[in-house]
A and B are shown apart, each in its own frame.
Chain A
Amino acid sequence: MGIKLLLEHDKVEGIRYYDAYRKHGGYRAAEKAFKMSPADIVEEVKKSGLRGRGGAGFPTGMKWSFLAKPEGVPRHLVCNADESEPGTFKDRYLMEFHPHLFIEGLLISSFALGSNATYIYIRGEYAWIPDILEQAIAEAKNNGWLGKNILGSGFDCEIYVHRGAGAYICGEETALIESLEGKRGNPRMKPPFPAIQGVWMRPTVVNNVETIAAVVPIINIGGDEYAKIGIGKSTGTKLMSACGNINKPGVYEIDMTISVEEFIFSDEYCGGIPKGKKLKACIPGGSSVPILPANLLLKTAKGETRLMNYESMSDGGFVSGSMIGSGGFEVFDEDQCVVRHTMTLARFYNHESCGQCSPCREGTGWMYKILKNIEYGKGKMSDIDLLWDIQRKIEGNTICPLGDAAAWPIAAAIRHFRDEFEWHVLNPDESQKRNYGLAHYADPIHVAATA
């Protein structure tokens, strides 16, 4: 069994409620934090090496130290609970089953950042979760953990739950801020960064739910101890939400030392692939990160075992690697069609584009149309190159990273599965009746001997 920091008490009855949470060591980190100075808390988080769990992996302690503190201007912590990246459902798990861990993390982080009014921006579709969070907030408040003059520290804090209304783009931090202000979710140009001018033009830190929850064990065990867990710059534990064709889909906490193979096939995690089918491909970190064929997933291009962490997953860059991203881990068995899957992603990004920049607005729609043609047996060989061309013209040419996020999955699908696309074009009738299958995607890769 790997180390569990966030889901340590996952099986404890009633952990959703204050009494059980407190009995199992809950709010001990908060007690400790209120004896520290805000600057010391930021320092611990820096030492922990914690990287943002929302997808980009930016060091949290560093982000916190960038927060502007002009005299007399309130600052805010806004928690990103918009969780809409296909494949990702871990924040939901934390909020549904461990609300007090999350609230404790928010409390400590609010104290460290000086946020007297902290907001949880939660995707509107998670319509039953605000009640769970509000109940936890009320319990925390009744026990003196929120409200005025917390633990006699002179620090006041309120946490408010704010529901969105269905828009993936509102997970992008500046779109989230616009949405919290009651506007359309159009991302802002940066700079200014939220740390200087965020919500209501006040200094703002936006952090993911899991990032905030991780602050609790960091304070409990200390930043140095936290940093000892894992490998290299992948410190601590990470929640993975596993889905697709696996025996045991669900949310797993891993320390980032295990191999991809172990994660997929061991009974402690995904439990292998149903019906003994073979592994064809995987998107390891949410729909925006590159898809990898089985052979490149399990081993890097250098022939090394690939591990479940930031560095190993991105080994080989976009040529032969991928990213840990949001931790949305999606497994494809040998009977799945990469073309059809890529088409659903193109439709997703087209649906979710806010429409502000033409490369993203027009490009995502165009790519979806072409992919639909290929999938339904109406594609041309030149369409594959056209797709490649369009995605390249989107990448890097937009206001926010949604454009890149739409381009990358298509680029990776063509890069690694080009012959599956070609087969669709060349066999328009057959491709309507059967899938391309496993082909050579799990064959061992020839590693060139180094001279």
Chain B
Amino acid sequence: MIKFSEEKLKDIKELISHYPEGKQKSALIPLLHLAQDENGGWLDASAMDYVAELLQILPIEVYEVATFYSMFNTKPVGKHLLEVCRTGPCMLNGSDQIIDYIKEKLGISEGETTTDGLFTLKPAECLGACGYAPMMQLGKTYREHLTKEKVDKLIDELRGQAKN
């Protein structure tokens, strides 16, 4: 069960005020982002029910939205979600090789999580970085112009962080 802090709740109140009176449902997607961050990167039923309660809408209205958008995970994911773009422009610049390399290095297939719970590999569709391909989304950032060496470095870095 998640519960937002008093401070977060104040931000949420401000957020809801961006929309007309009675149209608080408009804040649903922004709120789901907050809930997912709070809940370790995914949305379980209790997190969604909590959002429904905050917005005074039906839980089903939340479920149908959470399942529609690709950024919302309705199943647990690893600590770091590696979302590698594989659409045409990235493919022309070797995204397939990057995906294969990550699979081999981490010993997981697409959609799987490493046994230590650190990494999930999720192939993504065009992320608006086609000129800086190949690339991946990692949390709130983009990692662009990927090479095997850069992938090595990134994974070492993230593993290092986990140890500290």
| Residues of A bordering B, CB below 8 Å | 74, 83-89, 92, 117, 119, 123-128, 158, 160, 162-168, 179-185, 200, 241-245, 249-251, 283, 287, 328, 330, 332, 336, 340-341, 344-345, 347-348, 351-352, 354
**Are B69 and A125 in contact (CB-based, < 8 A)?**
no
B56 interfacial by beta-carbon distance below 8 Å: no
Listed A/B pairs (11) with beta-carbon separation below 8 Å: A124-B33, A125-B127, A128-B141, A165-B71, A328-B130, A330-B89, A344-B88, A345-B88, A348-B87, A352-B125, A354-B68
| Contact with B130, one of A119, A167, A330 (Cβ below 8 angstroms) | A330
Tell me if A126 and B128 are in contact (CB < 8 A).
yes
Residues of B within 8 A of A (CB-CB), count = 41
A182 touches B28 (CB 8 A): yes
B146 → chain A, closest Cβ, in Å? 14
Which residues of B in the span 92-140 have a Cβ within 8 Å of any Cβ on A? 92-93, 125-133, 137, 139-140
Q: Are B131 and A241 closer than 8 Å at their CB atoms? A: yes
User: How distant is B155 from chain A, measured CB to nearest CB, in Å?
Assistant: 21
Q: Is the CB of B129 within 8 A of A163?
A: no
Asked, given contacts A163-B33, A165-B33, A182-B65, whether A250 binds B88 with beta carbons under 8 Å apart, the answer is no
Binding site for A on B (CB under 8 A): 18, 20, 23, 25-30, 32-33, 55, 57, 61, 64-65, 68-72, 86-89, 91-93, 125-133, 137, 139-141
Q: For residue B65, which residues in chain A have a CB less than 8 angstroms away from its CB?
A: 182-184
Query: Whose C-beta in chain B lies nearest to the C-beta of A162?
Result: B30
Given contacts A74-B20, A117-B18, A182-B65, 20 further A-B contacts (CB under 8 A): A84-B126, A86-B130, A87-B89, A88-B128, A124-B69, A125-B127, A162-B18, A163-B29, A165-B33, A180-B26, A182-B28, A241-B131, A243-B130, A243-B131, A283-B88, A287-B87, A330-B89, A341-B88, A344-B86, A348-B87
Q: Are B69 and A243 in contact (CB under 8 A)?
A: no
Contact of A243 (CB < 8 Å), options: B71, B86, B89: B89
CA of A348 to CA of B52, assembled, Å: 31
Would you call B70 and A167 a contact (CB within 8 A)?
yes
B44 to chain A, nearest CB (A): 17
Q: How far is the CB of B147 from chain A (nearest CB, A)?
A: 15
Contact B70 A163 (CB under 8 A): no
Inter-subunit contact A185/B91 (CB<8 Å): no
A251 touches B131 (CB 8 A): yes
Asked if A84 meets B128 with Cβ closer than 8 Å, knowing A164-B29, A182-B27, A200-B20, the reply is: yes
Known: A166-B71, A243-B133. Contact between A341 and B128, CB under 8 A? no
Which residue of A is nearest B65, CB measured?
A184
Q: Are A89 and B32 in contact (CB under 8 A)?
A: no
Q: Are A89 and B131 in contact (CB under 8 A)?
A: yes
Q: Which residues of A contact B55 (CB under 8 A)?
A: 182
Is there contact, CB below 8 Å, between B131 and A242?
A: yes
Kindly provide the distance from the CB of A376 to the nearest chain B CB, expressed in whole angstroms: 13
B33 touches A244 (CB 8 A): no
Q: How far is A124 from B27 in the complex, measured between Cα atoms in Å? A: 14
Question: A86-B130, A124-B33, A181-B26 are contacts. A244–B68 as well, Cβ < 8 Å?
Answer: no
Minimum CB distance partner of A123 in chain B = B128
Check if B20 sits within 8 Å of A330, measured CB to CB. no
Chain B residues with Cβ under 8 A from A251's Cβ? 131
The answer to whether B69 touches A167, judged by C-beta atoms less than 8 angstroms apart, is yes
Report chain B residues within 8 Å CB of A185. 68-69
Please tell me which one of the listed residues A200, A241, A344 contacts residue B91 in the complex, with CB atoms under 8 A apart. Answer: A344
Closest-CB distance, A432 to chain B (whole angstroms): 13
Given A124-B71, A184-B65, A250-B131: A165 and B125 interface contact (C-beta under 8 Å): no
Least CB distance, A169 to chain B, in whole angstroms: 9
> B131, A125: Cβ atoms under 8 Å?
no
Q: Collect the chain A residues with CB atoms within 8 Å of residue B126's CB.
A: 84-87, 168, 287, 348
A283 and B126 CA atoms in complex are apart in Å by 15
B91 near A181 with CB under 8 A, answer no
Which residue of chain B has its CB nearest to the CB of A89?
B128
Residues of B within 8 Å of A86, CB to CB, are: 87-89, 125-126, 130
**Chain B, residue nearest A170 (CB):** B69
